[in-house]
C-alpha cells in the first residue's frame, strides 16, 4: 500500500488550499499592512507614501482627542458589557425554565441577533426624535427632558442611548450562550445538591453559577473585543456626536481614515487599539491559566 | 420547595415578559410607524395604535426611489458571498476533519484568530487591496470583504457539523474505490446539508446586514446595498420617517424570516459551541 498516508496528506492540503490562500491574502496581509502603514504618511493627492517612523504615534499621544475618546470607549464598553451580561443571564435563567410559552419568548428574545443594525439605528432615532419620538415624549412628560428635546442632542443622553441600543442588540448572544451552558448542566448535580438538603438559593450558588464560569470567561473575552471595536451602532445613531460625546476609538479610526484620508494615522490608531486588546487578552488568558494552576 | 418553584416561575414570566417588551416594542413600533398615515405619524403626543392604515410609504420607497435597486444589490452580494464562503468553507472543513497534514493546527488557529479579529482594525489595508485590484464599487470587491468577515466563522461552524459525521462512512467509500473528491461530493455533502444550509443562511444574514465595508466600497447610487442606501435617507436634512420606517421593515423582514426558519439548526449549533455576535 504505497503512500496512502501521503495521498491523504495531499488531499488534505489541496482541500484547504483555497482557504489558506484566501486567509493569507485577505487577513494575514492586511494585518501586516496595518502595522506597516502606521509608520507611514500617505499623501492623498499624489498617493505617495513616506516613512515617518513613530511620528503617527507621537501625534496620537499629543492629540487632544486621545483622552476623551479613550474615556468614551471605556464607558461604552463597560456599560454595554454590564447590560448585556446582566440581562443575558437573567433571560437565560428564565428561558431555561420548562414553562409553557417559553419557546416563543426565546424566539422573540433572539430577534435582535439578526435585525440589521441600520434598522435598529433608524427606529432608535425615530423613538428618540425630539418632537414625535415616543420615548422622548415619555421622558418629557416625566420631566426628565425639556419639551421638544431629544436625548440624542445631549451628551449624556446620547451616550446612554447608544449603550442601550448596543445592549438591545448584544444581549441575545449572551443569553443564548448562557442558555446552552445551562442546558449542559447534568441533572444529577441538582439531585445531589437536593439530597444534601440545599435550598433553591444554594443550588444556584453551588451548582448553577460554577457551571457558568467557563462560558463567562470565554464570552467576556469575545464580547470585550467585539464591543470595543464595534462601529456601526454609534456611527449610524449619532456619528460620534453631539460634539464628540459618543466618539469612541473605532469612530476615530474611521474619521481619520475615510473622513480626512489620513491612512497612516488611521492605521496607527488601529494598530494601537489592536495592541491594547492583544495585551489585555494575553494578560487575561494568563490570569485564567494561573487561576487554574493554583 | 413547591411554593418556591411557583414563585420562581412567576418571576421568570415577569422578567421575560419585561424583556419581550424591551425587545419587541421597538420592532413593533417600526412596523406600526411604517403603516401610519402622516396625520398620525407626526403628532405629539404619539398614539400607539394607528386608526387608519396606509401603504403610502411603501409605495413611495418601492416605486419612487432607488430602494428596489438596493435590495437587488444586497441580494446579489449576499448570495455570492454565501456561495463562495460555503464552497471554500466546506472544502476546508472536510479537509481538517478528515485528513492529517502539516499546518492543520495553524489553519484552525488562524480561523479562530480571524473569527475574533475586528473589521475596523483591518479595513484600511483591505480597502487599499480592493482599490489596487480595481474592484471599488463592484460586487466582487464587496463579496471579498464579506467573505473575510464570514469565512472564519463559517469554517468554525462547518467543522463542528462535519465532525459529527462518522469517519467510518468515508472509509467505507474509500475501500469501495471512491476517490476523496467523489466521497466528499456524493456522500458527505448530502449528509452535512442541513448544517451547510444553516451556516449559509447565517453568512447571508451577516452580509445583508454589513455596513462598514459596504459604505466605504459601494459609492455609486446603482451599487449601494440596503444598509448603505437606507443610511443616506437619514443623513439628508429632510428626514422622511414614514419612508424610513418602511425601508427598515423591508430590510428586517427577510432576515427575520430566514432566521426563524433555521432556528432549530442555529440552536443546535449553539449547543455545540459556535456563535457569532
Query: pLDDT tens-digit profile of B20-60?
Result: 999 999 999 999 999 888 888 888 778 888 888 888 889 88
Instruction: Return the pLDDT at B275.
Output: 52
Judge whether A221 lies within some domain. yes
Is any Cβ of chain A less than 8 angstroms from the Cβ of B109?
Answer: no
What's the DSSP call for residue A240?
Answer: T
Task: Please say if the pLDDT value at position B277 is more than 70.
Answer: no
* Rg (alpha carbons) of chain A, rounded to whole number: 24
Residues of chain A with pLDDT under 50: 1-2
Q: Is B189 helix (H, G, I), strand (E, B) or coil?
A: helix
Question: Which pLDDT value is given to residue B235?
Answer: 64
More confident residue, A109 or B173: A109
Chain A: closest CA distance from residue B246 (Å): 10
Distance in Å from the first CA to the final CA of chain A: 50
Domain containing residue A280: 66-293
- A chain contacts of residue B205, beta-carbon cutoff 8 Å: 114
- The answer to the question of residue A54 being in a domain is no
Reading the block at residue A242, the C-alpha cell is 453631539
Q: Does residue A280 sit within a domain?
A: yes
Chain B closest CA to A96's CA: distance in Å? 9
Residue listed under C-alpha cell 503512500: A3
Report pLDDT digits (tens) over B67-81. Answer: 899 999 999 999 999
User: Per the CB < 8 Å rule, is B101 touching A90?
Assistant: no
> Is B27 an 8 Å CB contact of chain A?
yes
Domain presence at residue A11: no
How close does chain B come to A122, measured CA to CA in Å?
7
Query: Cell digits for B198?
Result: 444553516
- A102·B16 Cβ contact <8 A: yes
C-alpha cell belonging to residue A82: 454590564
- Rg, Å, chain B Cα set: 23
Q: Which of B276, B43, B237 is nearest to B154 (CA)?
A: B276
Using CA atoms, how far apart are residues A164 and B3, in angstroms rounded to an integer?
Answer: 35
Name chain B contacts of A23, Cβ cutoff 8 Å. Answer: 107, 110-111, 114, 151-152
A232's CB contacts (< 8 A; 6+ apart) are: A117, A118, A121, B211, B212
Q: What's the whole-number mean pLDDT along residues B186-193?
A: 87
pTM: 0.90
Which residues, 6 or more positions from B134, have their beta carbon under 8 angstroms from its beta carbon?
none
Domain assignment present for A218: yes
Beta-ladder partners of A42: A49
What pLDDT shows up at residue B272? 65
Domains of chain B: 2-54 (no CATH), 58-271 (1.10.3720.10)
Which residues of B are less than 8 Å from A13 in CB distance?
95, 101, 103
* CB within 8 Å: B125 and A267: yes
d(CA A294, nearest CA chain B) in Å: 27
A2 within domain boundaries: no
CATH of the domain at A215: 1.10.3720.10
Buried b (16+ CB within 10 A) or exposed e, B26-35: bbebbebbbb
Of A13, A119, A132, the CB nearest to B44: A132
The B residues from 77 to 106 touching A (CB cutoff 8 Å) are 87-89, 91-92, 94-96, 98-104
Domain count, chain A: 1
What span, in angstroms and rounded, lies between the C-alpha atoms of A32 and A53? 16
Contacts of B41 in chain A (CB under 8 A): 132
- Neighboring chain A residues of B226 at a CB cutoff of 8 Å: 116, 118
- d(Cα B99, Cα B188) in Å, to the nearest integer? 14
pLDDT of residue B165: 85
Chain B residues within an 8 Å CB radius of A101: 13
Q: Which of residues 52-81 of B touch A (CB under 8 A)?
A: none
> In chain B, what residues touch A258 (CB-CB under 8 Å)?
216
**What cell numbers appear for A145 in the block?**
427632558
Taking an 8 Å cut-off on Cβ atoms, the answer to whether A20 and B107 are in contact is: yes
Contact A132 B27 (CB under 8 A): no
Q: Return the pLDDT at A1.
A: 45
Q: Output the nine-digit C-alpha cell for B45.
A: 403626543
Q: How far apart are CA A195 and CA A4, in angstroms?
A: 56
Give the C-alpha separation, A13 to A10, whole Å. Answer: 5
Place of cell 475586528: B118
Q: Which residues of B touch A127 (CB under 8 A)?
A: 26, 29
Q: Do B91 and A117 touch (CB under 8 A)?
A: no
Amino acid at each position: 500500500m504505497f503512500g496512502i498516508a501521503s495521498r491523504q496528506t495531499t488531499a488534505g492540503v489541496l482541500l484547504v488550499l483555497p482557504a489558506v490562500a484566501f486567509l493569507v491574502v485577505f487577513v494575514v496581509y492586511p494585518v501586516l499592512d496595518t502595522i506597516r502603514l502606521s509608520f507611514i504618511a500617505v499623501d492623498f493627492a499624489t498617493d505617495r507614501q513616506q516613512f515617518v517612523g513613530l511620528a503617527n504615534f507621537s501625534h496620537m499621544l499629543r492629540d487632544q482627542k486621545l483622552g476623551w475618546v479613550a474615556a468614551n470607549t471605556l464607558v461604552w464598553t463597560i456599560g454595554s458589557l454590564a447590560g448585556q451580561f446582566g440581562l443575558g443571564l437573567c433571560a437565560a435563567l428564565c428561558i431555561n425554565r420548562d414553562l409553557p410559552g417559553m419557546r416563543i419568548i426565546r424566539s422573540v428574545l433572539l430577534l435582535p441577533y439578526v435585525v440589521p443594525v441600520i434598522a435598529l439605528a433608524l427606529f432608535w432615532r425615530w423613538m428618540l426624535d425630539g418632537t414625535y419620538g415616543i420615548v422622548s415624549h415619555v421622558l418629557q412628560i416625566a420631566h426628565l427632558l425639556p419639551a421638544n428635546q431629544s436625548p440624542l442632542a445631549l451628551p449624556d443622553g446620547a451616550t446612554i442611548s447608544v449603550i442601550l441600543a448596543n445592549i438591545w442588540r448584544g444581549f441575545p448572544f449572551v443569553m443564548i450562550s448562557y442558555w446552552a451552558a445551562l442546558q449542559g448542566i447534568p441533572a444529577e448535580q441538582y439531585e445531589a445538591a437536593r439530597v444534601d438538603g440545599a435550598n433553591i438559593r444554594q443550588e444556584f450558588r453551588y451548582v448553577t453559577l460554577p457551571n457558568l464560569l467557563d462560558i463567562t470567561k470565554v464570552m467576556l473575552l469575545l464580547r470585550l473585543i467585539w464591543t470595543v471595536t464595534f462601529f456601526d451602532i454609534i456611527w449610524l445613531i449619532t456619528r460620534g456626536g453631539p460634539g464628540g460625546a459618543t466618539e469612541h476609538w473605532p469612530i476615530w479610526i474611521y474619521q481619520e481614515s475615510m473622513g480626512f484620508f489620513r491612512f497612516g494615522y488611521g492605521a496607527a490608531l488601529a494598530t494601537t487599539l489592536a495592541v491594547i486588546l492583544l495585551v489585555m487578552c494575553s494578560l487575561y488568558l494568563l490570569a485564567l491559566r494561573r487561576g487554574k494552576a493554583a | 420547595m413547591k411554593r418556591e418553584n411557583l414563585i420562581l416561575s412567576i418571576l421568570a414570566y415577569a422578567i421575560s415578559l419585561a424583556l419581550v417588551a424591551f425587545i419587541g416594542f421597538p420592532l413593533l413600533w417600526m412596523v406600526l410607524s411604517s403603516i401610519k398615515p402622516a396625520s398620525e405619524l407626526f403628532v405629539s403626543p404619539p398614539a400607539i395604535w394607528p386608526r387608519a392604515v396606509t401603504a403610502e410609504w411603501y409605495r413611495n420607497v418601492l416605486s419612487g426611489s432607488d430602494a428596489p435597486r438596493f435590495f437587488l444589490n444586497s441580494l446579489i452580494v449576499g448570495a455570492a458571498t454565501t456561495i463562495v464562503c460555503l464552497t471554500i468553507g466546506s472544502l476546508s472543513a472536510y479537509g481538517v476533519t478528515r485528513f492529517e497534514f502539516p499546518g492543520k493546527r495553524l489553519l484552525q488557529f488562524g480561523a479562530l484568530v480571524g473569527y475574533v479579529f475586528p473589521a475596523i482594525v483591518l479595513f484600511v489595508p483591505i480597502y487599499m487591496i480592493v482599490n489596487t485590484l480595481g474592484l471599488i464599487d463592484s460586487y466582487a470587491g464587496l463579496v471579498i470583504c464579506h467573505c473575510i468577515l464570514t469565512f472564519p466563522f463559517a469554517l468554525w461552524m462547518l467543522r463542528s457539523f462535519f465532525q459529527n459525521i462518522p469517519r467510518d462512512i468515508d472509509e467505507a467509500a474509500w475501500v469501495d474505490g471512491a476517490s476523496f473528491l467523489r466521497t466528499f461530493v456524493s456522500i458527505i455533502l448530502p449528509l452535512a446539508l442541513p448544517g451547510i444550509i444553516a451556516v449559509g443562511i447565517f453568512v447571508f444574514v451577516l452580509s445583508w446586514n454589513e455596513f462598514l465595508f459596504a459604505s466605504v466600497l459601494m459609492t455609486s447610487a446603482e451599487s449601494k446595498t440596503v444598509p448603505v442606501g437606507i443610511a443616506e435617507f437619514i443623513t439628508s436634512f429632510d428626514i422622511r420617517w414614514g419612508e424610513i420606517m418602511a425601508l427598515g421593515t423591508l430590510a428586517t423582514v427577510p432576515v427575520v424570516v430566514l432566521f426563524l426558519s433555521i432556528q432549530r439548526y442555529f440552536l443546535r449549533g449553539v449547543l455545540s459551541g459556535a456563535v457569532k455576535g
